[in-house]
Chains A and B, each alone.
Chain A
Amino acid sequence: MFTIPRGRPGRRSWATVLALTTVTALALSGCAGDSDDQPTQSSGGRAPLLTFAVSAPATGMNPTTVNTAFASYALAAYEPLVYFGPGGVYQPALAESWEIAEGNTAISLRLRSGVTFADGSPVDAAAVKASLEYCGSSASINALALRDLDSIELTDDLSLTLRLKQANPLLLNMVSQELGCGMIISPAGLAQIDDLTVDSPSAGAGAYVYDPQQSVPGDTYTYTANPRYYDPSKQHFDKLVLKVMMEPQAALNALTTGQVDVATGSLATAQQAAQSQSVEMSWIPVVWAGLNLIDRDGALTPAMGDVRVRQAINYAINREAITQAILGDFGVPTSSPAAEGYDGWTAQAASYYSYDPTKAKALLVEAGYPDGFELPVATVAWGGLDVVTTALTPMLAEIGITMVVNTTTDEKAYADAATNRQASAVAVGYGSLPMFRMATDLVLPEARPFNGFGTDDPEAMALLQELRLAAPEQSAERAQALNTYLVEQAWFAPVMFTPILIYYRDGVTGVDLTGGRQTVSILDVALK
């Protein structure tokens, strides 16, 4: 029966409460660092478990629909034809060799023999063809990768040739994991493609198999080693767990306390992670933030049709000050959209525009705009781009340019604002890519939403065509020529590269972001 105690709890009562609390805490603390969660190296050379904290849930288990920013969800289970490996080197995967036709209009692939999907069916040329054709025709984020694909010819059971409608210097990129379609789906998976969701097992030939029974979609995605995988030496773990941690602090806490081995980092926690004794960090400044000066023919704002005005905007920006204020030590000022590590980058282009308001004013006077003008700008309320826009406003005002800012709140509104010819400049955050891919997104006259006024610059197109046709050994030179031209013509006003950060615990290897790779490949992660 419930009784109300008379008087205050005695010393003995408090002692009992304290003892019970302590015992409970100690009992529970035994679970805080469950040894089963620690990836200790097993005797067979394969560690039992890797836990990787990612910042967003999977958009499916179909590699066609997986956002390649979170490619690990698919890559773990779907082997690509060609593997875009550490240092940006293409390695054989399902394809043991390849040959690119002169002029970059076709690629022939020779598949490994004896390789099977996880369900035991063979990985042959017919299966690869079916998977590629499905991906190219699907309503998915990755279908654009194969928009230039014209036909696929089977030479024999293990050989096929992909022919394109027009040249593409990134044919290997196209059939790697980088663009999604390169990860091959089995015929059985294609036959029930609508069921290839987070509720069903994966249907690839990857190093691991997705196990829905051990997964909680949206929270935990579990993969087990594929016993049929063709190269067991690449399977570093018995089990992979991708754990969704949307709150950056939660991811860092989990890493600090040993609950995860690798975590996607965030600017919000970067300083704390850098100071932590138990956390290692890898980061790459690669996402350029700034303005896309889209009205290059002066259709809406006549002044923007003059290259000197666009150059003046670039000279008016104090990139170092903005970068330091917003990103601290985790950003790099830039005048160029191509980041270091990518084919288009040159040191000269990266620092082409110094902060020089006097020169900027002189250029405006020279162009016939001594009193400046109004510049309609569309920005977005995410990714910190509105902050960058705010920082630019007083700098452009200093040379007489008044920014009239319209802030959008979602992708659709942003795409509309970038293409409806109501803004002459649009705030942009764009992850640097090989120059050809960037040019496809940003420079082609029909590229939307990033070339909203459809600028058709014959010189830029000529340089792009040269890049399109370039042999591998000439490709970087052509990419740099195109990037330099775009910088000189002030197509954009980049401000800084914002970072992609990865945190990991001591003893984890394979997490370096180098050679143009913006995401850690889960297949490279291993233990020392």
Chain B
Amino acid sequence: MGRVVGRWFLTALPVVVVVSMLTFVLASLVPGDPARTILGINAPQEQVDALRQQLGLDLPLPQRYWDWLVAAAHGDLGRSITTRGSVAAELAGRLQVTLSLVVLGLIVIVLVGVGLGLISAIKGGWLGRAVDLLSLIGLAVPGFWLGLVLVAVLAVAVPIFPATGFVHFSDSPTGWAASMALPVLTLALTGTAGLAKQTRSSVLDELGKDYVRMLRARGLSERRVILLHVSRNAGAPIVTVVGLLFIGLVSGAVLLETVFVLPGLGSLTVAATKAHDIPVILGVTLILSFVVVTVNLLVEISYALLNPKVRT
């Protein structure tokens, strides 16, 4: 276990730095000039140049990145080019919204997806075919579109849930639950079937192995065979999928936050990208990189717990 964590520490930091550097380079290569965006299309070029100098945009790219990296290492993520507000302050408020959405979505997906997968593997028949069909639909239907449909049906036509907005849990637990209902449902509907299919496939693989036949021959009940042995061995690939799913959900949240007007990192990223606001883009990248590498660590720890061979 210690080796797993140690390896993570050795790789996580370089990964985050490389990702932030790539993001900086790519964002800088995107056509457009933040100074021109701020001042408008008919501002004189001298004024644009003056603002570029004021914002440090006239410096060479390596120097700009290095300055940002050094400041970030000291906890200073700089100021937004467009709003001049603190990037760290802006990110802090938004991270919890995105994490609420993604974590809640993941919990629903894991509970329903693993449950459905197990049941369909054991029972087979129409349930198995239904899981296959649903996973295909889940993969094919864009979350953005599904979100709009759910709002049209469950918020506009039949006003059960709010169409947009976010309520903090501390302000109103029921309001928070209501505001998260449709976004989480959207994430769950697009992600559950895939996990269910993976679970079903993994469990069926395990059920066909010799050790299961041996356990049954020894007279163990089916429940014990599945719960104590099959589910444990089938767990490793499922955990991998859950890890990837989490990262996918973060990406999906970018568009969903715009549909449901949630003040998370996704909507911030969209606005910052439109405005060529590189400090904000880098801040979001940094935070999400940490989230992703942390999730990868959790996946590896789960592996180690599920499979003793990994611990050595």
Query: Which residues of B from 256 to 277 have beta carbons under 8 Å from A?
Result: 258-261, 263, 267-268, 270-271, 275
B83–A217 touching, CB < 8 Å: yes
Q: Does B175 contact A (CB under 8 A)?
A: yes
Within 8 A of A (CB), among B109-167: 118-119, 122, 148, 151-152, 155-156, 159-167
B227 at the interface (CB under 8 A from A): yes
Question: Is there an interface contact between B263 and A216, defined as CB atoms closer than 8 Å?
Answer: yes
What residues of chain A lie closer than 8 Å to B79, measured between beta carbons? 197
The distance in angstroms between the C-alpha atoms of A25 and B185, with both chains bound, is: 12
Residue contacts A-B, CB under 8 angstroms, 11 given:
A4-B118, A28-B177, A32-B161, A34-B175, A59-B38, A59-B83, A199-B85, A219-B267, A257-B159, A259-B165, A411-B36
Q: Cβ of B172 < 8 Å from any Cβ of A?
A: yes
Q: Is B220 located at the chain interface by the 8 A CB criterion?
A: no
Bound form: Cα–Cα A219–B94 in Å: 10
Contacts A199-B85, A410-B32 given; does A31 touch B172 at CB 8 Å: yes
B85 and A29 contacting across the interface, CB-CB below 8 Å: no
State whether A197 and B163 are in contact (beta carbons under 8 Å apart), knowing that A28-B181, A246-B258 are contacts in the complex: no
Q: Does A15 contact B (CB under 8 A)?
A: no
Cβ of A188 within 8 Å of any chain B Cβ, yes or no, is no
- Nearest chain A CB to B48 CB, angstrom units: 9
User: A323 to B86, alpha carbons, bound, how many Å?
Assistant: 44
Q: Which 7 A-B pairs have the closest CB atoms?
A: A219-B263, A410-B32, A31-B178, A253-B163, A28-B178, A139-B51, A412-B33
Q: Mark A432-476, 1 if CB is under 8 A from B, else 0.
A: 000000000100000111100000000000000000000000000
Check B164 against A410 for contact (C-beta < 8 Å).
Answer: no
Q: Using a CB-CB cutoff of 8 Å, which residues 29-68 of chain A contact chain B?
A: 29-34, 56-60, 62, 65, 67
Residues of A167-199 whose CB lies within 8 A of B: 194, 197-199
B93 touches which one: A28, A29, A216, A410 (CB < 8 A)? Answer: A216
CB of B44 within 8 A of chain A?
A: yes
Contact for A197 among B84, B94, B148, B260, CB less than 8 A: B84
Is there an interface contact between B83 and A58, defined as CB atoms closer than 8 Å? yes
**Does A220 touch B at the CB level, under 8 Å?**
yes
CB distance from A126 to the nearest CB of B (A): 26
The verdict on A249 contacting chain B, using a C-beta distance below 8 Å, is yes
User: How far is A139 from B226 in the complex, measured between Cα atoms in Å?
Assistant: 69
Fill in one digit per residue for B77-98: 1 if any A CB lies within 8 Å of its CB, else 0: 0010011111001100110000
CA distance A216 to B156 in the complex (A): 25
Decide if B163 touches A256 in the complex (CB within 8 Å): yes
Residues 211-223 of chain A, each 1 if its beta carbon lies under 8 Å from chain B, else 0: 0000011111000
Cα of A30 to Cα of B275 in the assembled complex, Å: 38
Specify which of B160, B227, B259 is in contact with A4 (CB 8 Å cutoff): B227
Chain B residues with a Cβ under 8 A of chain A: 31-33, 36-45, 47, 50-51, 54, 79, 82-86, 89-90, 93-94, 118-119, 122, 148, 151-152, 155-156, 159-167, 172, 174-175, 177-179, 181, 223, 226-227, 258-261, 263, 267-268, 270-271, 275
B174 touches A30 (CB 8 A): yes
Decide if A25 touches B160 in the complex (CB within 8 Å): yes
Chain A interface (Cβ within 8 Å of chain B)?
A: 2-4, 25, 27-34, 56-60, 62, 65, 67, 139-141, 143-144, 194, 197-199, 216-220, 243-247, 249-250, 253-254, 256-257, 259, 409-415, 441, 447-450
Query: What is the bound-complex CA distance between A58 and B118, given in angstroms?
Result: 49
Task: List residues of chain A with CB within 8 A of the CB of B263.
Answer: 216, 218-220
Give every chain B residue within 8 A of A4 (Cβ-Cβ). Answer: 118-119, 122, 223, 226-227
Specify the chain A residue showing the minimal Cβ separation from B158: A29
Chain B residues within 8 Å of A256, by CB = 156, 163
Among residues of A, the one whose C-beta sits closest to the C-beta of B89 is A199
* Shortest CB distance A115–B (Å): 28
A139 touches B162 (CB 8 A): no
Q: A350 to nearest B CB, angstroms?
A: 24
Instruction: State in angstroms the CA–CA spacing of A198 and B84 once bound together.
Output: 8
Q: How far is the CB of A37 from chain B (nearest CB, A)?
A: 9
Q: Which of B38, B94, B155, B271 contacts A246 (CB 8 A)?
A: B271
Given A57-B271, A216-B93, A216-B263, check contact A141 B39 (CB 8 Å).
yes
Residues of A within 8 A of B275 (CB): 59
Contact A414 B41 (CB under 8 A): yes
The docked-state distance in angstroms from the alpha carbon of A4 to that of B179 is: 32
Q: Which residues of B contact A30 (CB under 8 A)?
A: 174, 178
Are A449 and B85 in contact, CB atoms less than 8 angstroms apart? no
User: Which A residues lie within 8 Å of B177 (CB)?
Assistant: 27-28, 31
